[in-house]
Amino acid sequence: MTLMLSYQYGLFDEILCNTSLTDDAPDCNADSSYCVQAGLDYVCEENFDTGNPNDTCQTGVRVRCSFPDIPTPLVDTPATMMKVISYNIWETRYLYNQNGQRERTCRILPELIKMRPEVDVIVFNEVFMGGCFASGSANNQMTLRDILTKYGFTEFTRTVGLVPTPTQPESGGVFIASKWTISRERSRVFEATERTTPDSLIQKGVVYARIDKTVNLETRRYHIFGTEMQSTDRRNSSLVRIVQARDIYDFQQSQNIPASESVIYAGDLNADRLDDTDHVDEIVGELQASIPEIVGTISATYDEDNNDVFGERADNGAFWYDYALYSNEHLQPTRTALRVLRPRSPPFTVCMSAVSPNPAYPESNLCVTDRTISDLSNHYAVMGTFDFGMGSGRQGYQPRPLSHQQHQPNRRRSQQKP
C-alpha cells in the first residue's frame, strides 16, 4: 500500500499509487485507517495488480488520501507586529531511529495553525528529510513545504547546509517559512562543533530571511535568523555554543541591516533557561539580544515529565531550550512576549523502534516498539510576539525564577537528544 498525494497548482490532487515505493502496510492491503494513521482524509480505495515481480506490493488494496483543509483561516496582525514560532520537529532519518516521523510531521501544521492562526513566520528545526511523506517518489510525495504552501505560507528559505559533504552528510535541518514576501535569504554553516558528538556529522548553522510584511498598504521589513546550536553536554559543548553565537552575530552584521529595522533570532539554542541561566545569558549576550517577557502557563520546551513521546523515559526533568529573541542594536519593540505552545492531536499510534531503515507501521512485524501519543515532537514550540507600533520602551531579559510548584531542580541532560 502507498498513500498517494501530489502537489500541483496550489492544490493537492489524489493520484494512483506507485507500488514500487517501499512501504510497510501488512500484506499490501490498505483501508481508510491508513489515511487516518497519517492524519489525512480518506478518499477511496481500489484493488491492484501490477504484474511486476520487482514491485514491493504486486497485488493488494491501495487507498487514496487527501490532506485536510486549513482548520481555521489565517489572521493578519498589523504590519508593525511580528509573530514568530520556532519549532524543533524531531524529524531524524529512519536510518538512525524510528519515532513516528511521518505521522507526527503530517499533523504539525494543522495543529499549529489551529492554535495560532495569526503567526507570521515559522522557524523549523531538525527537518532532516523534508517532513510528512518527503521520502516518497516524485509521484508519491508530500513535504512540509507542500503543506505550508497549501496553508498560505508560500515563501520559505532553503534548508541550511543542504548540500552534503564527505565529513558532514546531514543538513542543518533549519529553514524559515513565511506568509509574507521573503525578499532576500542567506545562510552560513558553523565551523565550530563538538567533535565527540553526532553534531559533528550535521551542517548546523544559521539561515537568514529578509521579510517584507504588508498589511493595509503598509509595509514593514523584518530580519529573521533561524538556528539550532550544538546539542549534547560534553566538555566543550558550552564553549562551542558561545562560538556559534558569535558566528551568528558576525553573520548578522555582514548583512548590513539598518538600525531602524528589526532583527529577530529564533531557534533551538540548546541552552537551558531553567537550570543554566548563566550560559543562556552568555549566548544572548554574544548576540547582543534580549529575551522577551515570558508569558503563559507552560514552563518548559523539552519536558520529559509530561510529553508523551518519551513514554517510559519520562520523569527525567524539564528544560527550556527554544527561544525567539530581539536584537538590542536595531529597532526596539514596544511590547514583547515569549510563550510556549504545545501542539497536540487526538491520540494516534506510531512505531518507535524497528528493524528497518524505512518507515514502519506500528502493526508491522518490523516494528519492535509502538506507542500511542498525542504530542507531535520531543520539543514544544515557542512563539515570540514583537510589537513595533507607536510608543517607546523595551522589555528585555531579566531572569525570573519560577515558583517551587512550577520548577524542581533538573538533572543535566547527559546524552544526545533523540
C-beta of residue 286 within 8 angstroms of C-beta of residue 249: yes
Strands of 142-201 (E only): list them.
Answer: 155-156, 175-178, 181-189
* CATH fold of the domain at 81-387: Deoxyribonuclease I; Chain A (3.60.10)
Locate the domains of the chain by residue range: 6-66, 81-387
pLDDT of residue 2: 41
pLDDT of residue 326: 99
For 380-392, write each residue's pLDDT tens digit. 999 999 999 975 3
Q: Per-residue pLDDT averaged across 355-373, rounded?
A: 92
Give the rounded percent of residues in the chain with a pLDDT score beyond 90.
70
Reply yes or no on whether the pLDDT at 20 is more than 80. Answer: no
User: Between vectors from CA 173 to CA 171 and to CA 174, what angle results, nearest 5°?
Assistant: 125
Sequence-ordered list of residues with C-beta below 8 angstroms from that of 278, at least 6 positions apart, any chain: none
User: Average per-residue pLDDT in the chain?
Assistant: 87
For 288-335, write each residue's pLDDT tens digit. 999 999 999 999 999 999 999 998 765 679 999 999 999 999 999 999
Alpha-carbon distance of 13 to 10, in angstroms, equals 10
For 253-262, write each residue's pLDDT tens digit. 999 999 999 9
pLDDT of residue 7: 34
Q: Would the CA dihedral through 340, 346, 349, 351 be positive or negative?
A: negative
Lowest mean pLDDT among 131-140, 235-244, 302-311, 401-410: 401-410
pLDDT of residue 415: 38
pLDDT of residue 138: 58
> Longest C-alpha distance within the chain, in Å?
71
Q: Per-residue pLDDT averaged across 246-253, rounded?
A: 99
Q: Per-residue pLDDT averaged across 62-71, rounded?
A: 88
C-beta of residue 259 within 8 angstroms of C-beta of residue 288: no
Q: Per-residue pLDDT averaged across 21-47, rounded?
A: 79
Sequence-ordered list of residues with C-beta below 8 angstroms from that of 185, at least 6 positions apart, any chain: 157, 158, 176, 207, 208, 209, 210
Between 261 and 403, residue with greater pLDDT: 261
